[in-house]
Structure 1
């Protein structure tokens, strides 16, 4: 296979041969990624385009480093890193800087802190690790995507560019120390070790923690490494690859392209990725690279070499940079959801901006006067540019946090003002309020999840987090423990707003996705490893919560709820719901005698998956367009059934469903208040407006028990 495996790389005015097949591969990769982000249903597995890029990077960078090793017997690390910085950072930092301005001008207050924090992480090329950390945060599971979320892959690549030449230097050192060791063998050993270890880790981590595994560098390193091994094989045995018949290479190229498109078409968000399933797009990309532009007329050579494909491949980096901020920020700028015409405009704008930044930013820095800068000057300029973006962004985060606090205070004041017909008050019997499709929604969807107070243990932790609210225990008429999962914790705002008024002391013990129950949790849609972690942490937390209630004899009332659709491990011959009902009753019977009231709260309704987007898009018509029928919104609730059939005189059921239903519908906005913060949790503001009726029901139960 003749020809230079490196793509168009200009150095000192000289351009090496362009591999049109790899240029076409880049066009395909960025194309399927953009389609996936713009119209996910069209290519549900379009995220594999990123893996194509990883393999290409591994191949090209390893080729470059191997040639330098063969020519000079060393690797000039400063020069390599300086070239990468000039190639990648100018356009990336430009997009980040403009995104900061757009976020500040157009994005609602509640989204600003997280968006700007992700910009800072992207500027420092640690975005992938930040997203990995957020991916295991149950409370952020339905968070709004940031306009720079796609920088996770750029962060991964940048980390590869830093570490990879160091590994090659290590291989050279090993070769120099070992007798009769050839550099190529040492390189193969090091890259092979990375490939094997990373792939094994990727498979395990994808099964154990798929959300985080998607982003971290350690689960992706094998993709770069396989690209590197391909480069090593091609350079070490050029005659062997050149001897492959053109017809065989043509078939190989078509199979490779078919594998990429197949994975983009059949993979979905439910596909365990990047573990072993990433082998398909990775090996498919390698197949196209090995085929190396076969000459038969029926080969994909002409397809990959057509001018539009070559142009798109040439600007693929810029297209990737620009497309995601545009699609994420567009609804904020337009103040509505994007339509097909908007998508066409955004696509055209992406291409124009990509061309402009390539012509006026990337190329001038890469091959212009700055190309002659010494590495230390490049590093200094790079550090200054990155530092400027980070400093401005951090300042913006501080200002945005103050805006969020001010908004929270305004909302708290509004709740305390007890305005008639505001929130749940609009549904009070005899209120005289006319509940129609609402024209006002507070909080803004951007603030709906910004509760000023949270107290909950995350899904992957078993720590018994204890929070105290209200009056001092010794002065309280009631000492109440709020115990259960996040559907229990969502009542914290209501309890906080009523605790001091009713002379309560409230202790909060809650853990995400973990009801207060005696049987293990289950999640059939999750991997065995994920379920094992969920079961272990939930079981430990339940034991510690039970021990806490046993030890603290001042607690006289327990309030608990649970997400009605979260399954537990079913006993033989039973449905999981039947097992849950029995286990709730058993757990309540085990509570100590000093607890005189056990109050189960029926679960709240479930909304459509796009409820917040629907409210944002429909404005005044949100009450009509985004409501859900009562039959669809409410499901069978094992906890409520257990309370209804319990023979324990201490157990009672509170049902707040009436405060969510309007004319047999569950609207997202009630009394001008956005009632939900995601598909299945109520908002902290609406919870606050429920303080009075919720407190009345608790007092009624306690008084009845006392009588």
Structure 2
């Protein structure tokens, strides 16, 4: 990413967008179990705002997909000069070292908890089993497995998005090397990006598969890839263009996340294109702002940027905190009107667990693997997607 004054190698605007997205994911998973609309907040805050806070976790994952496509493509362009010259081995090593250590740790912990019979962690749905769930998680088809057999426990379920992302990145560098021409690759990406409403509509017969199938998620990733290719040609933006893209992006996210019911009646599955398009506008605005002279990150939101920097670790681990807090909430039997108070410890605990995993697992493992598998001194890992 472009260097910024606050944290070399990172883009503060994109970190902010990632922080916003992972926060929505956590709020969604708490809200499914302790909905804000049943608390005292419903007497003082608009219902549309409470719904937006509790029920946009799925949409937030698609923002992540767009960001992922943008960042990983941009890193590849900076390292290799062109997608047609992408370093296949280096690309896969970087993905492996970033994704696999935390994934293996998570699967191991979940397997132990299943074996101990811990509530919220036992795989007990008919047609499902622990060995098959492990294969699905490590084989990047957990989304397909859930579509066939039903939902897995929450800590397993979050891996559906990882399945989509990693299958895309297994094939993406191969397609780049095979096409070898941007004028061939770009139309393919455009078709994939614009297919999102139709691929979702075609899967309406299976609710899980409609949400978690490969093609809709890959459409969002393709949108991010196109954004990175555009940013390379459009390396400098005027301040006016940055503000215009930012305004369009914010308005698009508002329509999807706050006025979602109205937007659905208007365009149905087309609302997902509004979401990915708005996300791309914000990513491009962040890119443009970072390349402008005198750019300074917004003050007062450093905490949210820190959520963005830890988004992968928080995403994989937050359900441990959610389940613990919800269990305690139900055991104490406090008036549901005060349910919003349980969010106060849950959110910092999610951040702390993610920070612990980042410090002691993901960053050391990523650095160690890159140093050995790339046969050279590892680059700083703070800017990885």
Task: Name the TM-score class by shorter chain.
Answer: 0.7 to 0.9
SS in 2 for 1:160: helix
One of 99, 103, 125 as aligned partner of 1:92: 103
The structure carrying a bigger strand percent of its residues is 1
Q: If the length of structure 2 is used for normalisation, what is the TM-score?
A: 0.76
One of 298, 305, 313 as aligned partner of 2:308: 313
Q: Hey, what does 2:223 align to over in structure 1?
A: 226
Q: Is the 1:25–1:304 contact (alpha carbons within 8 Å) kept by the matching residues of 2?
A: no
Alpha-carbon offset, residue 226 of structure 1:
1.2
1:31 aligns with 2:46: no
Q: Hey, what does 1:253 align to over in structure 2?
A: 246
One of 12, 22, 25 as aligned partner of 1:20: 12
- Output one character per residue of 1:50-99: Cα deviation in whole Å (capped at 9) or x when no partner: 01000011111222333445369522212211111111111222122222
Q: Is the 1:127–1:155 contact (alpha carbons within 8 Å) kept by the matching residues of 2?
A: yes
* Alpha-carbon separation, structure 1, partners of 2:248 and 2:299: 14
Q: Hey, what does 2:284 align to over in structure 1?
A: 290
Q: Is the 1:318–1:357 contact (alpha carbons within 8 Å) kept by the matching residues of 2?
A: yes
Q: Is the 1:147–1:326 contact (alpha carbons within 8 Å) kept by the matching residues of 2?
A: no
Q: Is the 1:322–1:353 contact (alpha carbons within 8 Å) kept by the matching residues of 2?
A: yes
* Alpha-carbon separation, structure 2, partners of 1:217 and 1:313: 24
Residues 286/277 of structure 1: CA separation in 2 closer, same or farther (3 Å cut):
same
Q: Hey, what does 2:148 align to over in structure 1?
A: 133
Q: Hey, what does 1:154 align to over in structure 2?
A: 162
Alpha-carbon offset, residue 375 of structure 1:
6.1
* Alpha-carbon separation, structure 2, partners of 1:168 and 1:337: 56
1:679-698 matches, cutoff 5 A: none
* Alpha-carbon separation, structure 1, partners of 2:299 and 2:228: 21
1:319-338 matches, cutoff 5 A: 319-328=314-323, 336=331
* Alpha-carbon separation, structure 1, partners of 2:249 and 2:186: 24
* Alpha-carbon separation, structure 2, partners of 1:248 and 1:305: 24
Q: Is the 1:6–1:18 contact (alpha carbons within 8 Å) kept by the matching residues of 2?
A: yes
* Alpha-carbon separation, structure 2, partners of 1:213 and 1:353: 31
- Output one character per residue of 1:195-250: Cα deviation in whole Å (capped at 9) or x when no partner: 34x43642432445443121111222111111111111111243xxx2x4313422
1:597-612 matches, cutoff 5 A: none
Q: Which runs of 5+ in 2 are unaligned?
A: 36-49, 334-338, 376-385
Q: If the length of structure 1 is used for normalisation, what is the TM-score?
A: 0.43
Alpha-carbon offset, residue 21 of structure 1:
0.8
* Alpha-carbon separation, structure 1, partners of 2:147 and 2:10: 36
Moved more, 53-62 or 98-107: 98-107
* Alpha-carbon separation, structure 1, partners of 2:280 and 2:197: 20
SS in 1 for 2:116: helix
1:356 aligns with 2:356: yes
* Alpha-carbon separation, structure 2, partners of 1:328 and 1:35: 13
Q: Is the 1:86–1:366 contact (alpha carbons within 8 Å) kept by the matching residues of 2?
A: yes
Alpha-carbon offset, residue 145 of structure 1:
4.2
Q: Hey, what does 2:172 align to over in structure 1?
A: 164
Alpha-carbon offset, residue 128 of structure 1:
0.8
SS in 1 for 2:140: coil
Alpha-carbon offset, residue 326 of structure 1:
3.1
Residues 310/200 of structure 1: CA separation in 2 closer, same or farther (3 Å cut):
closer
Moved more, 286-295 or 81-90: 286-295
* Alpha-carbon separation, structure 2, partners of 1:359 and 1:279: 36
Alpha-carbon offset, residue 129 of structure 1:
0.8
* Alpha-carbon separation, structure 2, partners of 1:203 and 1:264: 18
- Output one character per residue of 1:79-130: Cα deviation in whole Å (capped at 9) or x when no partner: 2111111111112221222222233335359943447353442233211111
1:340-351 matches, cutoff 5 A: 340=340, 342-351=342-351
- Output one character per residue of 1:409-447: Cα deviation in whole Å (capped at 9) or x when no partner: xxxxxxxxxxxxxxxxxxxxxxxxxxxxxxxxxxxxxxx
Alpha-carbon offset, residue 185 of structure 1:
1.9
Q: Is the 2:193–2:223 contact (alpha carbons within 8 Å) kept by the matching residues of 1?
A: yes
Residues 108/62 of structure 1: CA separation in 2 closer, same or farther (3 Å cut):
closer
Q: Hey, what does 1:394 align to over in structure 2?
A: none
Instruction: Report which structure shows greater RCO (CA 8 Å, sep ≥6).
Output: 2
Q: Hey, what does 2:88 align to over in structure 1?
A: 77
* Alpha-carbon separation, structure 2, partners of 1:72 and 1:7: 25
* Alpha-carbon separation, structure 2, partners of 1:71 and 1:147: 38
Residues 109/95 of structure 1: CA separation in 2 closer, same or farther (3 Å cut):
closer
**C-alpha RMSD over aligned residues:** 3.5
* Alpha-carbon separation, structure 2, partners of 1:18 and 1:265: 29
Q: Which runs of 5+ in 1 are unaligned?
A: 9-14, 136-142, 173-182, 377-707
1:276 aligns with 2:270: yes
